């Protein structure tokens, strides 16, 4: 197991890394702003579940295979970028529906509402898993970072798993706080179909930019 000093040091670094802008926390911010803090929390749960896969990959040595195979690495990046483009298309479609919702008769006294429902929590949880697992850079990052905190004379696998759990805890705390903040902000910002349409268009643009970032 890890020493207390090593655990505290790694947790501090993991917290700082979670705060640094990246695809995962930007994804949480956009989705929590659009659909509320609860949606963001379930995406965070999905991202943490994805981190389990990255931790096991490092523990089992799969990360080394991925690092040694540029073709496999590129294929996984393409899959991740393709999924982000799919999400961008979905956000753009919702923005179109929001635009149509504003075209109501003048005599209609009811305020316009969003045409598209909030995704189910299970679907949001799945999005988080796919978003995290389809980013092979996380596994390579684990491969580069975790060994720096491994202490000689102790079981390596247990230490890697312990470090992975600490990273998940830091991710849960930081991303969870981001989700709560973005959900509060979004609830006050997205009061009209026009503001909802603009936010969905912004989200679609962000997804496309993230897809390009993963590829490039």
CA separation for the pair 75, 2 (Å, rounded): 35
- Quote the number of domains for the chain: 1
* Residue keyed to tokens 């505290």: 8
Range of weakest confidence among 36-45, 140-149, 178-187: 140-149
Asked if residue 3 is part of any domain, the answer here is: no
Q: What's the pLDDT band for 206 if we cut at 50, 70, 90?
A: confident
Asked if residue 9 is part of any domain, the answer here is: no
Ramachandran region, residue 47 (left: φ > 0; alpha: ψ -120 to 50; beta: rest): alpha
Asked if residue 142 is part of any domain, the answer here is: yes
Q: Write down the number of H helices and E strands in the chain.
A: 9, 0
Asked if residue 13 is part of any domain, the answer here is: no
Asked if residue 107 is part of any domain, the answer here is: no
Query: What pLDDT digit, counting tens, does each position of 25-80 carry?
Result: 888 988 898 888 999 999 999 999 999 988 988 888 766 776 677 777 677 677 76
Query: What pLDDT digit, counting tens, does each position of 66-104 carry?
Result: 667 777 767 767 776 777 787 778 777 766 765 555 444
User: Can you give the pTM of this predicted structure?
Assistant: 0.72
First to last CA, the chain: 38
Domain of residue 74: give its range. Answer: 23-102+114-215
Helix (H, G, I), strand (E, B) or coil at 167: helix
Asked if residue 74 is part of any domain, the answer here is: yes
Asked if residue 2 is part of any domain, the answer here is: no
Tell me the pLDDT of the chain averaged across its residues. 78
Asked if residue 148 is part of any domain, the answer here is: yes
The Cβ of residue 124 has, within 10 Å, a number of other Cβ atoms equal to: 22
């Amino acid at each position: 197991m890890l020493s207390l000093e090593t655990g505290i040091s790694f947790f501090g670094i993991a917290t700082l890394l979670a705060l640094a802008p990246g695809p995962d926390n930007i994804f949480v911010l956009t989705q929590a702003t659009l659909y509320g803090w609860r949606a963001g929390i379930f995406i965070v749960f999905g991202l943490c579940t994805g981190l389990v896969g990255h931790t096991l990959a490092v523990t089992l040595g799969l990360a080394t295979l991925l690092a040694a195979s540029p073709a496999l690495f590129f294929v996984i990046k393409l899959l991740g970028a393709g999924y982000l483009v799919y999400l961008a298309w979905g956000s753009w479609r919702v923005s179109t529906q929001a635009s149509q919702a504003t075209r109501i008769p003048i005599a209609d006294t009811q305020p316009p509402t969003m045409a598209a429902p909030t995704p189910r929590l299970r679907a949001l949880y799945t999005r988080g898993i796919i978003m995290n697992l389809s980013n092979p850079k996380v596994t390579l990052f684990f491969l580069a970072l975790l060994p720096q905190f491994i202490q000689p004379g102790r079981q390596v696998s247990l230490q890697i798993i312990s470090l992975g759990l600490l990273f998940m805890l830091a991710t849960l705390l930081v991303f969870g706080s981001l989700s709560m903040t973005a959900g509060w902000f979004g609830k006050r910002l997205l009061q009209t179909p026009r503001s909802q349409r603009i936010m969905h268009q912004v989200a679609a643009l962000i997804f496309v930019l993230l897809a390009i970032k993963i590829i490039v």
